[in-house]
Every structure is written in C-alpha cells, then in structure tokens.
Structure 1
Amino acid sequence: MAAQAIIASEAVSFRRCYGPEFIAQAVRDWINAVGAKTAYIEPGSPWENGYCESFNARLRDELLNGEIFYSLKEAQILIEQWRKHYNTKRPHSALGYLPPAPETIVRMDQSPVMH
C-alpha cells in the first residue's frame, strides 16, 4: 500500500479534533494499521487545524447561513451541489485562485459542435 510506504519513510501524524468522538472507528483502525500517530488539537484551539476551520467557515458563509432546508433530501442535494462547485469551479487563493480539482472532462453530449 502506497500510504504505508510513505508513512514508514517519514514520521506521519494526523491532526484532528480532541477526543475519539470526532473520528470514525474505521479511520482510527487505518491510522493504527499503517503505523501513524494521531496529533490531537487542544480544546478551544481551532487555529491548530486551519484548513478544516477555513472550509467550515466557507461552507457556513457560502451556503448554510443563506438557506432554510425543508427536508433532508433538499439539504443533501444543495450541499452536494455546493461541494462540487467548491472543488471544481470556486477559486481558492492558496492555489493561485484556481479550483483544486477543475473539471477537465467534457461529456460527449456537452461537447461543442463544429460547423
């Protein structure tokens, strides 16, 4: 497994919120299996996990604060649409104002027609 090779060659740790209630058992098992360490964030210290805190702020500001969800399905659909926009179209300043995973594949039914 590639992850095990990387972890074996370097001291790797996963930074996460304090306490086991914030991580799935499957993830804890994987961290143990590959021999990585867990670096906990101190309670009340969100700056120790800036990437997650920034993502959560964008999600709140760009979607959650402006919506009232009338059903779980509506919430799932709108959040998925926002996630796709965030990853494929929205500019990210840390990436030179490019999206992290730009859409590069044009579906055949959407390809331009040459006349």
Structure 2
Amino acid sequence: MRSDEVVLTEAVLSPAAEYGRYVYRRITTLLRAEGWRVNAKRVERIWRREGLKGPRRQPKRGLLRLNDRSCVRLRPRRAGHVWGVGCAG
C-alpha cells in the first residue's frame, strides 16, 4: 500500500457518504478539484475495495409489438398513463 492510501480512502468515502448518487468518476473529479493527483483507476479500486456501488439505472420502457412488426398504440386512460413512446416501424 502507498503511504497516502489511508488518507485517500477517507477522502473518497466522505463525498460518497454525503452524495449518495455520485460514482467513482465524479468523486475522482471532486478529488482533483481539491488538489489530489489521482487516477480514476485508483479511485475505482478503492471504491470496489470498500464495497461501494453506484445507483442502478432504471430500465427503458419496451414497445408493445405484435408478431407482424406492428405496434399497439395505447389510448390514455388517465393523466400520465401513456408516455410518448413512438412506434419505430
């Protein structure tokens, strides 16, 4: 381990605790703004070693398709029921 590894680990964990949605790349940018000369791979290694994970992405909505490659267009029943998902022919 390097001599500054413990201090860098604390510097990585403090913004990760404060900003829960920040991942290692954003924290690398914050550390560089504070004056750290640090590589993104090194921050990722510390990130994984400490057991941190980023937020999961929400999956995209799928289109309602039939076997003949046409799609079913839903009629809205209430506000916010049907979003603007087009049918790519």
| TM-score higher than 0.5 | no
Question: TM-score w.r.t. structure 1 length?
Answer: 0.18
Q: Which is higher, the Rg of structure 1 or of structure 2?
A: 2
Larger relative contact order (CA 8 Å, sep ≥ 6): 2
Higher strand share: 1
